[in-house]
Every structure is written in structure tokens, then in C-alpha cells.
Structure 1
Amino acid sequence: MAWKSVKAVLLDLNGTLHVGDAPTQGAVLALKRLRMSGIPVRFVTNTTKESRRALKKRLDSIGFGIELNEIYTALRAAHSLIRQRHLRPYYIMEDDALLEEFSDLPRSGEADGSDASAVVVALAPSKFDYATMNRAFRILQAGNPLIAIHKARLYKRPDGLALGPGPFVEALEYASGVRAEVVGKPEIAFFRACMDGLNCSPDEVVMIGDDVRDDVRGAMDAGLRAVLVRTGKYRSGDDSLLENTGGVACDTFASAVDMLLGDDIS
């Protein structure tokens, strides 16, 4: 299939379009060009430190014009799962995301989480302390499920790479013997949910991201095409993980858009 036959694009955010409050090189103009081409765009992120509304506000301030309903987050998927299963979780999550995205759902009302029926873990740097982790461990020991909004090993901050929630989720798995159910990227169900309403097949959709495992390989496992960008959390040698997969690597999101819109690309 030629790249010009792509009918929709899923885009990672942090590390791909921006790092912190700064866009990656040429990203603002590249997104405008992609929109002008008429190809539908959705923003697919594991970001859990902030709500969709806060994320939109920050992205708009950078220069990206993004609609709230274009943002598909792992938080949104977790909300659906918790509602469907009638869970009362103990959340390890930053307050902004918790209060805005989960305010309509039950939650543990006890300080020690003794009334919780699940543990939900997001990226929450201010919450990853011994007392919090130990409460979560005890809830799991009582036979309750562990839900990881995602298990990213790391993420990109303006001051460098930082630990993602994955190491903390795995610590709870190791200590409790409970295997986490992962909601966001790279889960196939998450990518498929992000495609709802696009009216195209998975192989007509391309995912662009900076994480070779969660963004690129995850998308390809779901049947999508994928482009790895050498920004954000990209590390030298990640390209080798694309060998014989059909995945492609580009220097930046802007160069990926050049490739997608180029008439001579096949």
C-alpha cells in the first residue's frame, strides 16, 4: 500500500509533537499541513498526569489547534473499564487527572484504601512513595485487581528522561503476585477504540510516535501502519527494532508529514 493511500493518522503527543511546553522542530506547521490535506487526525496518548482539558489548554498555548474530542487518552479508556466493572478503586494518580476525569465514579473513601475493590496506577510522580505503594500492595493482597493505565518504562521531560509508571506497576506485580491489566498503549484494544468512527480499515491508518514499543510496535500489532520519530524518548538503535516489520523511521514529526504527503512516496 502506498503511503498516499493512508486515510487517517493517529499521533502521539509528548515526545512527538512536543516536549514539555515546546513543539518539536516544525511540528506546528506540519500539523496544519496534515489537516489541510483532509486526512483525519486523532491524538492518541498515554498521558495521565493531566486531564484532557488541561492537556488541550497546554497544547493550544504551544500553537496546536486541537479539539477536545480529538484527544484519545488512556485515562478515557480506564474510565470506561472502571464504570463497566463497577469498581471502587484506590487511585495512584495526580490530582488534576483524578478530579476531572474520574469525578463521576466511585473511589476508595478510606485513607488506607481498606474499602477499595481495585488499584489503579497512572504516571503520578508526586504519589510514588513508600506509604502509597504499601497501601496498594495490601489492597492487592486482599485479592483485588491491579489496573495499569499504561506501563511505559520512561517518558521525556524537558530536563531529560524520567521513570514512567511501568517500574512501579511491576514492583506491585512482583510483591503481590497480581498481574496488571494494562489499558493504554500498546494494547490492541486501545488502538482499535481510537479508530471508532473513522470508517477505514487498520491498514489504512498510520500511527506516528517516539516510542518504538508502545507507539510503533503496538500499533502494528493492531494491524496499523507506523512511523517512528527520532525525537522524545527515541534512543539510538531503536530503528533496528523495525527491521522486517514494515515500520518506518523519520527524524521528526514534520519529516513524517513530508513523507506521508509526498506524491513520490510509495
Structure 2
Amino acid sequence: MLQALFFDISGVLYEGQRAIAGAAKAVGRAQASPLQVRFLTNTSRKTRQRVHQDLLALGFELALSQIITAPSAAKAMIQAKGWRPFCLVHEKIRSEFDDLDQAQPNAVLVGDAAEGFSYPALDQAFRLCLEGAPLIGVGMNRYFKLEGQLHLDAGPFIRALEYAAGTEAIIVGKPAPAFFLEAVASVGVKPDQVMMVGDDVQGDVEGALSAGLQACLVQTGKYRLGDESGCRRRFPCVASVVEAVELALG
């Protein structure tokens, strides 16, 4: 029996500056139900607080504590390990890591750095990894959708560093099973009692299924016709988050 419902955010709850039609009401239904609700995102262009503020402004009702972001998980790991990271991240979230010791870095953190993915920055990250610094990836998404267009995400750059330095990245966000299981632990249920709703067949659906969760793909956001065939496992594919919540509530 389903006990919890997890939502991806961008592309599932909103696109661009607008909420998906009926999404706020659907999330409200889930929040009012016995299901425990969490919001999981790999976004590395916004702080957790900004994600919360933006959702509230779009009419969603949720608590900051319900949002789990990959950058926050990455920071927690770095602090636990005592690493000094070279942060190749977006300028809008750089402040989240300001309190970490970044002198003489012995680790590399890569998120969606946008214009920050310059040759000098990537070259420095490469040299550090070549010398043995662990490579931490904020998610492994190939692309994301913004204002109607698809854009490169952090995944391709992480793959390039892995290839060049002969290393393997530690992926903190989706599709890493540990990220999903951390969220599952926060609601205190079994993985198979949770459904993940997302628009990314690899990051959201396949990642969740690999961690033992249920999953549902929505045909909004970055979804492209035929994406559902990109995963060999069976899962529901519905028009939007509205139908996904109806499915979860039975």
C-alpha cells in the first residue's frame, strides 16, 4: 500500500514561470491525504530556500522541510568527509558552500555551472581529479528544460571529467539510489511504499525503480515522445501530475 508520494519539481510542478495546469490543486490533494509528501530536485541553479519561495509564489503549499535538494546532500557529504572542494557550481548557489574550507582543494564538486563551465575551470577540475581528488556530481541529468528549450545539464560535463581523468564520480542527486533512499528514510516507510513522480525517465523513473520505489512518468517538462521506451521496466506514464496524484490516491 502506498504510504508516500515524491515529486520532482521543475517540469512536473511548473514550466518556466508558470505552474502546470492543475498542479497546485493536485499537490494540495496529496498534502491533505494520508500520504507523506516530499519534493526531490537536482536543481543546482537555486538554493533550497529559493525553490521554496518560488513554489509558494506559484500557489503551492508546502514546508521548507519537505524539499530535498541534491546540492544540500552534496554539502552534507563534503562536510562529513572533511573535504575541501573546488566548487564548479552555478553562481546562484555558490553562497551555499561559502562556509566550507575551499583552500587547497582536495575534492571536486560539479553541478550545473552554466557559463562557469569554462575551459580553465574544467581543466582545473581535471587536474585535481587526475591527482586523486574525488569527483562529486550534483545529479547526472543530461539536460533540462527552461523557457521551452532543452539545455545541457551537469551530466555531460561530469562524464567528460570521468573519461579524461579515468575516475568515477560520486553522484549525490538523482538517479543515485542513495539520494532516493535518503528521502525514503525521512518519511520512515519502505521504498516500495513510495511513488516518485517525474518527467525524466532516467533520472526520476529509472533511478527510483533502481532504489526499490514505485515510479510514474509525466508527459510534461523535459518529457519527449517515446521516452517511456527508454526504460525496460514497467511503470505508468500519464499526461501530468494531476493524473499522477489521482493514480496515487487510488
* Aligned with 1:63 (options 59, 63, 86): 59
What is the CA distance between 1:259 and its match in structure 2? 1.9
- Report the Cα distance in structure 2 between the residues aligned to 1:28 and 1:91, rounded to whole angstroms: 34
* Aligned with 1:25 (options 15, 21, 26): 21
Which amino acid counterpart does residue 253 of structure 1 have in structure 2?
V
Q: How does 1:181-260 map to 2 (within 5 A)?
A: 181-242=170-231, 245-260=233-248
Q: How does 1:130-209 map to 2 (within 5 A)?
A: 130-209=119-198
Which amino acid counterpart does residue 98 of structure 2 have in structure 1?
S
CA RMSD, Structure 1 to Structure 2 (Å): 1.4
Q: What's the TM-score, normalizing by structure 1? A: 0.90
Give the number of equivalent residue pairs.
Answer: 250
Which amino acid counterpart does residue 102 of structure 1 have in structure 2?
F
User: Does the CA contact (< 8 Å) of 1:20 and 1:158 recur in 2?
Assistant: yes
Report the equivalent of 1:105.
100
Give the 4+ runs in structure 1 shifted more than 4 A: none
1:16 aligned counterpart, secondary structure: coil
Q: What's the TM-score, normalizing by structure 2? A: 0.95
Which amino acid counterpart does residue 260 of structure 1 have in structure 2?
A
User: Does the CA contact (< 8 Å) of 1:150 and 1:165 recur in 2?
Assistant: yes
Show structure 1 runs of 5+ residues with no match.
Answer: 109-114
Which structure is larger by alpha-carbon Rg, 1 or 2?
1
1:161 aligned counterpart, secondary structure: strand
Show structure 2 runs of 5+ residues with no match.
Answer: none
2:116 aligned counterpart, secondary structure: coil
- Report the Cα distance in structure 1 between the residues aligned to 2:115 and 2:228, rounded to whole angstroms: 33
Show CA shifts across 1:155-200 (max 9, x none): 0111311111111111112222222111111111111101124222
Percent sequence identity over aligned pairs:
39
